[in-house]
Amino acid sequence: MLGVLRNSWALLLGVMLLMLGNGIQGSLLGIRGKIEGFTAVEMSYVMSAYSVGFLLGSRAAPEMIRRVGHVRVFAALGSLVSAILVLYPVAPDWMAWAVMRVVIGFSFAGVYITAESWLNASASNETRGQALSAYMICQMIGIIGAQALLNLRDPGGFDLFVISSVLVSIAFTPILLTAVPAPSFDRITPLPIRMLFAISPLGCVGLFLLGGIFSALFGMAAVWGSEIGLSVRNISIFIGAIYLGGLVMQYPIGWVSDRYDRRALIMVLSVAGAIVTFAAMVLPMTMVVLASVAFLAGGIANPLYSLMVAYVNDYLEAEQMAGASAGLLFIYGVGSIGGPLITGWLMSLVGPSGFFLFIALLFTATAIYALYRMGRGRTRLFRRRMRTLSPTASAVATEATVDEAGRSQAKPAAP
């Protein structure tokens, strides 16, 4: 791990600053939307727009990089993010915010792919897992720190938007000045979704449902907190606890998954997530209870993504992993679009409890489908190391496996 930090400290520092800026933006909009008088349904459109942009960006970024190179794409999209962050308070209209969130999501998809490509290229096969773990830890630290920064200024003013913009701008400095050369980016042949589903139905359905869980849990948490009257400080504690849970539970669950049936672990974790979120609807709304629920929900949802990606990869040949990674990211992105929309609709029907209700139903659906798949046959058990990937990092796996497939004379994927 020390070797990874020594070789990639500038990149990891830049990522942490980037997540500080992005973390402020995501939480701040939920709070500021309430101040501006936007309804929960309107804010659900705003939050869902990020997923739309991210989905588009994840498909377009590879071609952009191939055409003009990593450095130009990174600088152009990063500048666009920084500019838009200061435009939110200038145009306090939810439709304008939704358009800006599409552009933000598109830009961050390209920024993540570019940054993670550099990190992946700087690591060897022996250190790539450690590098991605360090990357994910820096992401979590940045997002958790962003919740603390929310308390520095009045969310009704301009200051927090400016701080977010400045942090994003500064984040590019260590990354662009790093001595690590930009990696090559070969053409990617995607694995058709139909074939991917045939290989791993649980992985595809599970990631689709998990996309809804993630986008609702992380995208609508600040909106939900504003609806029930939480202070900015308590909203930041609630959101910070979600990411802290993911940070703490990521490695232990990954360690267990390498030694037991991944399908059974997916089912158990999904049941636990359903119990926690259903319980949140009836428990007293004290901050101790809310922080505990957030910690457990985040500690289950974050490792579930890595667990499902690892489970799918258990069934793939090396030459299939590149297309699979792109396909899984697409499936996850499609699922994440509906999360805020349905959550906002449920909150308008049943009140703030609709936030936990939607997440609980998705956890339940995941558990039921995992149990169904377990009854369809025995799983192939592998003792592979857990691939600890963030939602955005699956794009990096594409580049890693393309490089490996290029070095080896692997046969084409079977139709």
The torsion of the CA quartet 387, 396, 14, 249, rounded to 10 degrees, works out to -20
**Structurally, how many domains does the chain consist of?**
1
Task: Determine, yes or no, domain membership for 415.
Answer: no
pLDDT by 10s per residue, the chain, length 415: 555 566 667 777 888 888 888 888 878 888 888 888 888 888 888 888 988 888 888 778 777 877 777 778 877 888 888 899 999 988 889 999 999 999 998 988 777 777 666 665 565 545 554 565 677 778 888 888 888 888 888 888 888 899 989 988 888 787 677 665 665 555 555 567 888 888 888 889 998 999 899 888 887 888 898 888 888 889 888 988 988 898 888 778 777 777 778 888 899 999 999 999 999 998 888 899 999 999 999 999 888 877 887 777 677 665 565 556 667 777 888 888 888 889 989 998 988 889 999 999 999 999 999 999 888 754 444 334 333 334 444 433 334 333 333 333 333 333 3
Residue positions counted in the chain: 415
Six token digits for residue 235 = 């909203």
DSSP letter at 318? G
Instruction: With respect to residue 115, please indicate whether it lies within any of the assigned structural domains.
Output: yes
Q: Is residue 413 part of a domain?
A: no
- CATH code, 270: 1.20.1250.20
Per the domain annotation, does 32 fall within a domain? yes
Q: What DSSP character marks residue 112?
A: H
Phi and psi for 147 in degrees, rounded to 5? -65, -35
d(CA 116, CA 135): 8
- The single residue listed with the structure tokens 């504003």 is 226
Nearest-10 crossing angle of helices 2-36, 159-176:
160
Report the distance separating Cα 204 and Cα 318, nearest Å: 19
Please answer whether residues 28 and 164 qualify as being in contact, where contact means their C-beta atoms are separated by less than 8 angstroms.
yes
Q: Please check whether residue 412 lies inside any domain of the structure.
A: no
| Residue ranges making up the domain that contains 69 | 2-407
pLDDT score for 403: 39
pLDDT of residue 179: 62
Query: Is residue 414 assigned to a domain?
Result: no
